[in-house]
Amino acid sequence: MSNRVAHILGIEKPIIQGPMSWITNAEFVAAVSNAGGLGILGPNAGQTTITTSSKETAERMRREIRKTKELTDKPFGSTIIVDGDLKYTWPILEIIIEEDVKVVLLNGVEGTLSEKILNPLKEANIKIVYRPLNPTFEDAKSAQAMGVDVYVVTGFDEGGTLPTSVIGTFAMTPMIVDVLDIPVVSAGGIGDARGVASAFALGAEGVFLGSRFIPTIENPAAQSVKQKIVDSSASDLLLYRTLPAYYRSLSTPLVEKLVEMDKQGASREEIASASGGSSAIRIGMLDGIGEGGIITLGTGITPIKQIQTVQEVVDELAVGIPQ
């Protein structure tokens, strides 16, 4: 059976690796692409320190793109976060074009997707996978009209920054599939071949996974974090309010504090201020330090029973893809 996502992206299997902040690098991304999926370099890919310079941020991404090209001849992607003032968006977009990356993952919030961003990518013949924070009918139709190639539907089951809408992945997927002509990919809470098969049964033509790829040999996350994921299930995840909506994490001292703040009625702004932002993910997931750290994951972690190679994970997931 011909698969539109695989055909558009030039990959063997319509399995897209989520570009998790701090815990992707060239070795990991190349491993996903070499296994037949689409690896994507995420924010701070390959880095261990923070820079507030947009130019340095972009140059760091250039170096990681070049490293990835040395490790795979298969298509891979790089992430563009569409922020309000485009301070980081534009320099990274320019480097992605200069380095001839084949696929871009656009992460955006409502109202930020524009032809100003899309047109240069389309002119460079770069395929555009668009993943809005909040998938809606209006956003999906607008993205399709602007020429996005693949639309990622993220349900409330995901890890990281959660949508404001508390509709689960397997309810949201058919809602969006039914209003689009372009292919849809499901994201959030998919952890094994059964989840993959379910997404396809609901009309998706690909899957997008982050948490499932963390406990792999090639992923740069701390070994202690990988083991904690293997030893945990969705019932161990804690949910708390923050900006813009919610966050989900395994228990750490910081997360316990944030959950308690939520219970005591603190505002979303107060909880967000106390959370440590992107640095907390680096501390928790890359460095493996519970104090000051967050280990954010989606609800699809329950089937993860061992640390495996990326190839083994992709092969297992692919069993759920219709032939």
Let me know whether 146 and 244 are in one domain: no
Whether 225 is in a domain gets the answer no
**Quick check: 120 and 93 in contact, CB under 8 A?**
yes
Nearest CA-CA partner of 136 in 101, 111, 159, 99: 111
Phi-psi map region of 307: left, alpha, beta (phi>0 left; psi -120 to 50 alpha) = beta
| CATH number of the domain residue 44 falls in | 3.20.20.70
Q: How confident is the model at residue 87 (pLDDT cuts 50, 70, 90)?
A: confident
Angle, helices 89-98 vs 54-71, to 10°: value is 30
Interhelix angle for 169-177 vs 137-146, to 10°?
50
pLDDT of residue 278: 87
What tokens appear for 117 in the block? 């961003």
Task: Tell whether 224 is covered by a domain.
Answer: no
The answer on 312 and 278 residing in a single domain is no
DSSP three-state, residue 227: helix
**Measured CA distances, 230 to 88, 191, 320 (Å):** 35, 12, 21
4-60 pLDDT, tens digit each: 999 999 999 999 999 999 999 999 999 999 999 999 999 999 999 999 899 999 999
Residue 183, preceding peptide bond in cis (omega within 30° of 0): no
Asked whether 43 and 54 are in contact (CB, 8 A), the reply is no
Range of the domain at 255: 238-296
How many CA within 13 A on the CB side of residue 153?
A: 31
Is the same domain home to 67 and 213? yes
Residue 226 included in any domain = no
Asked if 141 contacts 47 with a C-beta cutoff of 8 angstroms, the reply is no
Burial of 307 from C-beta contacts in 10 A (0-12 / 13-18 / 19+):
middle
* Residue 243 within a domain: yes
Query: What pTM, to 2 d.p., does this model score?
Result: 0.96
What tens digit of pLDDT does each residue of 94-141 get? 999 999 999 999 987 666 788 899 999 999 999 999 999 999 999 999
